[in-house]
Structure formats: C-alpha cells, structure tokens
Amino acid sequence: MELKEDWEQAKQRMEAWWVGEMLDRPCLQVTAPKPGWQERLRRAAERPADISLERWWTDVELILERERCRLEGTFFGGEGLRPVRVVWPELEEKHIDFLTGLPNRRAFDEALRLAAGEACRQCAALGIILFDLDHFKKVNDSYGHHTGDAVLKIFASRLRSSVKSMDFAARYGGEEFAVLVLAAEKEKVWEVGERVRRAVSGAPFFVEGKELVITCSFGCAVFPLDGPTAEEAVKAADAALYRAKEAGRNRGLCAGWESSL
C-alpha cells in the first residue's frame, strides 16, 4: 500500500469526497465540528508519498475523532461497505417499456437516484451493470425490425429470469439493458452479469422458425467506489462495457479491471 500510485489515488479521493461531495452527506454524521476541520483534512491529504496509506488513514481517523466526526465504513478500497437496502417503488404504466415489459429508462433513472440516496444515508454500496446485445444491427438489417423486436423480448425474458427479484432490471434504451444490483463487491456484481451473459449465449433464440445465435457484452461498476456520484458510476460501467466490446464481445468487465474473472 506504499506505492506512489496508491498514494496519489488516495489523495484524489480525499479531495473529491471529503472536501467536496462527502461533506454534505448524512453518512458522515458530523456533530458540532470545531472550526477549520475541513482544512485540517485537506492538509492530511498532502502528506508525503513515503508515508504508508495505513499511517495516513490513522492520522485522518484521529482528526475525525478530535472533530467529533464518525465515519461508518471505509471508502478507500470499500472495506466495511455493505449492500444497500432499498425497497423499489411500485411502477406506473409510464414507467414500463411497451415492448419488453421491463421498467424503462425513466424508471431506471428514478430507481438509481433512490438507491444512490439510500447508499449515501446507509454508507452502503450499489452495483450497476450495463448490457449491450452484440451485433444487433446485423439482426435488424438481415431479418427486419420485427425479428429484432422478438430478439429483444427473448433477451428481456432471460435477463429477468437470471437476476434476483430484489435487483432492478430495466431496458436502458435500444438494445441496451441495465441492472441495479444490491451488492457491495465487484466480484458479486460481475457474477450477476456473467449469469445473464451465459443465459443469453447458452441457447439459440428461436424466432419465426429461425435459429439465431445471440450474445451480449456487459460492463459493471460499484457506487460509490467507482464514482463519487451515481452518474459517474454509470459512466464507469459504460466505459467497462466499451472495453468489453473492444476486447471481442460476448464478455463482461468491471470498472478498473483489465480482464474478466
């Protein structure tokens, strides 16, 4: 943990979270801090790179204790974060995708805001997975949009049957789908995506007498580990999805990973 890269990353997180985003979040539970405590945290973030992160974090904890601040969970590396607990709201007709029957993009965005807010209040984590059907344009071009729509319906069915009822699966737009996973560890989030990928590629799609081989790629991230805001975490998942497709498709990657498990 004494590598300079780790140190620089820790400094960036300190500045982005403590001095910026995290100062106003309830999970800090700040109680009557003494004047100037934010500046002392700033100075703590500027310690020389030859001091280990363990020593640095100990110093930060002492500052927090002196300023009567309590931190629930460890944001540096995610140790101590638990899966967020959330109850998804009842969906209205306007929140349902007419083709697949899944929640639509509007419903997903509202669910994401709800879950991210709960994650901040609970000092918990939330998994985000973005899926994209590989070479879907070729399906439309070769067989027509009617067949393409049928493929989307079958994919949605396999997606729904591959995730837990407590997770939130939605059609993100076009041939893209998304899942909010109530998990805190990237490996567990990736496993959900991999389960969906295998369900899709493991058996052909039968559409009007045609046997189609369909695959998908996915990218995943964990909020708040992969972004100080839910939007940034989604961007991280999208970037991982792009890298998965660039690597050959029919695979999944998590933010910060160079390869799949």
Q: Is 29 left (phi over 0), alpha (psi -120 to 50) or beta?
A: left
Instruction: Give the active site residue among 175, 187, 208, 258.
Output: 175
Give the residue from 164, 242, 219, 189 showing the smallest Cα distance to 78. Answer: 189
Q: How many CB atoms neighbour CB 127 within 10 A?
A: 31
Active site residue 67: no
Rg, C-alpha atoms of the chain? 21
With H, G, I as helix, E, B as strand and everything else as coil, classify residue 234.
helix
The two structure tokens encoding residue 141: 């071009």
Give the residue from 131, 216, 215 showing the smallest Cα distance to 177. Answer: 131
With H, G, I as helix, E, B as strand and everything else as coil, classify residue 96.
strand
Q: Which residues of 91-117 are buried (b: 16+ CB within 10 A; e: fewer)?
A: beeebbbeebebbbbebbbebbebbbe
Question: What residues act catalytically?
Answer: 175
